[in-house]
Amino acid sequence: MTNDDLSLLVETSDEWIRTRTGIRKRHLATTDLSLSELSAQAATQAIAMANLTANDVDLIILATSTADDLFGSAAKVQAILQANRAVAFDLTAACSGFVFGLITASQFIRTGVYKNVLVIGADILSRWVDWSDRSSCVLFGDGAGAVLCQGSTDEDRLLGSAMYSNGEQHEALNIGYDGTGKKLKDGITVNQGTYKPITMKGRDVYRFAVEKVPEVIEKALFNAQLTTDDVDWLILHQANQRIIDSVAKRLKIPPQKVIANLDEYGNTSAASIPLALDEAVRQGKIKPGEIIASSGFGAGLTWGAVIFRWGI
């Protein structure tokens, strides 16, 4: 769906959206496509790139805020893949989900519990967008991305990381529950309802991101005993091009080292970083041995960063 398409739904324009966000279009899931199926598509490609089979996977971590089932969708992904040996669970940290998932996977690998861990970032936010709210509907798209993390005796390529949360700013971005009382008997009333569309305080989120993201990347680099000069590529959550540019400028990372594709996909939440990583790898931009700094940030509010050396 292009910006011009959106201008037929709400009072906006291609120029208004591009100048404020950097987004030109976004891809939306069809009505018959489940989050589990979309996740499995990305996972299948990641497993193939790693020259493994689904039966080699020990653990599946699905980072998502839009599961098909409130109880979780990771086990359904496991079934679709026929990854019969794998345990699977959902991880919810909104737009920070993939980074949090990657860090979580590293702990299982480092302790020797699992060797092959599939980390998927996937969201279908179009199902939770108010398409009459021009401040939010122009931002979001659907997508899924995945990586296969594998234990190695040669070197630990996850060089440094950091994670943070601040629940006091929860209201800045959420998909809140909305229910009403249902009386079951005298003295017993339960609350039943569903979730409301995405609400966001754009300026608050912007200020939060441009302040906290450079800090968390510097913390992760410190933990890795590296500096920004050692970074070959910067891949941020694809929320807004102005945020990406501002963070890169504060870190003094030149534009040619910044990977961005939100002009094509919009904000795909937990999927945005692995989508950008996958494209850059398949295009030959990112080479084995290069150091990547990545940061996710969003609802919660949560934010985190990971520094890793790419290897395949």
Provide the CB-side half-sphere exposure for 81 (13 A, CA): 35
Q: 240 an active-site residue?
A: no
Question: How far is CA 41 from each of CA 19, 69, 144, 145, 293, rounded to the nearest angstrom?
Answer: 33, 18, 8, 9, 26
Tell me which of 95, 116, 149, 174 is the catalytic residue: 95
The phi, psi pair for 196, rounded to 5°, reads: -85, 165
User: What is the CATH T-level fold of the domain 158-168+199-309, as seen in this structure?
Assistant: Peroxisomal Thiolase; Chain A, domain 1 (3.40.47)
Give the global pTM: 0.96
Tell me which of 116, 174, 240, 267 is the catalytic residue: 267
Model confidence at 69: pLDDT above 80? yes
In this prediction, residue 153 has a pLDDT band, given cuts at 50, 70 and 90, of confident
The Cα 22–Cα 195 span in angstroms is 29
Q: Tell me: the pLDDT tens digits for 90-103?
A: 999 999 999 999 99
- Residue length, the chain? 312
CATH match for 3-150 among 3.20.20.70, 3.40.47.10, 3.90.700.10, 2.102.10.10: 3.40.47.10
Tell me which of 116, 137, 237, 240 is the catalytic residue: 237
Mean pLDDT for 61-79 is 97
Picking from 249, 230, 239, the residue whose alpha carbon sits closest to that of residue 296 is: 239
What mean pLDDT, rounded, does the chain reach?
A: 96
Q: 237 an active-site residue?
A: yes
In this prediction, residue 143 has a pLDDT band, given cuts at 50, 70 and 90, of very high
- pLDDT value, residue 312: 67
Please report, for the chain, the start and end positions of each structural domain, with discontinuous segments joined by +.
Answer: 3-150, 158-168+199-309
Q: 267 an active-site residue?
A: yes
